[in-house]
Amino acid sequence: MDYKLSEYCDAKMAGEDFSNKDLSGKSFFDCKFNNCNFTECNLQKTEFENCSFDGCNFSNPQIINTRFNDGRFSNCKIMGINFYKCDQFVFDVSFDGCHIGQCNFSELRMKGVKFLKCEISDCDFKRTYLVEASFEGSVFKQTLFHEANLEKSSFYDAHGYSIDPRFNKIKGARFSVPDVINLLSSFDIKIK
């Protein structure tokens, strides 16, 4: 398909290869993307509203001032994205079963965001507003939470997270055994 139009509504794209393509400044409303490749794609100032992405590859796309309003990612590979460069006026996303690596979510307001059953590795959540977020069933590796607001968030059945309660707000957050013990790792104590 040739993407010369500036606006797309109710479109279904399957198996499209957008890698290294220029989709900057385009608008997608109520669109479904299945098994599409956005590797190194130029998405600057692109708008996605009420769009779903299933099995897509988002490796190192350019997302400066990109707008995600109700963007739903399922079983996607999401690598090397500085999400803080997205348009912050409306930033509403959810992730389910995604592999998320080397991404930066710092300074974002993500109240109620869902990261369900995701693999989250080498990511940063510095000063991120994550009140009522859900990380249920997710597995973390080398991911940093620093000065993040995690109040009332859920880490049930999540593994591998490292959250220092001295530098993050965790009041009302929910954790499950045995990984809740990770909250004590920064205190240099011994547990038997």
- Write out pLDDT tens, residues 163-175: 999 999 999 999 9
Taking only Cα atoms into account, the Rg of the chain, rounded to an integer number of angstroms, comes to 17
The number of C-alpha atoms within 13 Å of 112 and in the hemisphere containing its C-beta is 3
pLDDT at 153: 98
| Domains of the chain by start residue, with CATH | 105-187 (2.160.20.80)
- Taking only the tens place, the pLDDT of each residue in 91-136 is 999 999 999 999 999 999 999 999 999 999 999 999 999 999 999 9
Place of tokens 């590795």: 121
If DSSP states are collapsed to H, E and C, what string results for the chain? CCCCCCEEECCEEECCECCCCECCCCEEECCEEECCECCCCECCCCEEEEEEEECCEEECCECCCCEEEEEEEECCEEECCEHHHCCCCCEEEEEECCEEECCECCCCECCCCEEECCEEECCEEECCECCCCECCCCEEECCEEECCECCCCEECCCECCCECCCCCECCCCEECCCHHHHHHHHHCCCCC
pLDDT at 48: 98
Confidence tier at 178 by pLDDT (50, 70, 90): confident
pLDDT at 184: 66
**Residue 82 vs residue 184, higher pLDDT:** 82
What's this model's pTM, rounded to 2 decimal places?
0.92
Q: How far apart are CA 190 and CA 192, in angstroms?
A: 7
Confidence tier at 192 by pLDDT (50, 70, 90): low
The verdict on whether omega for the bond into residue 61 sits within 30 degrees of 0, i.e. cis, is no
Q: What is the mean pLDDT of the chain?
A: 94
- Taking only the tens place, the pLDDT of each residue in 51-73 is 999 999 999 999 999 999 999 99
- Taking only the tens place, the pLDDT of each residue in 30-39 is 999 999 999 9
pLDDT at 182: 74
Chain centroid offset of residue 35 CA = 18
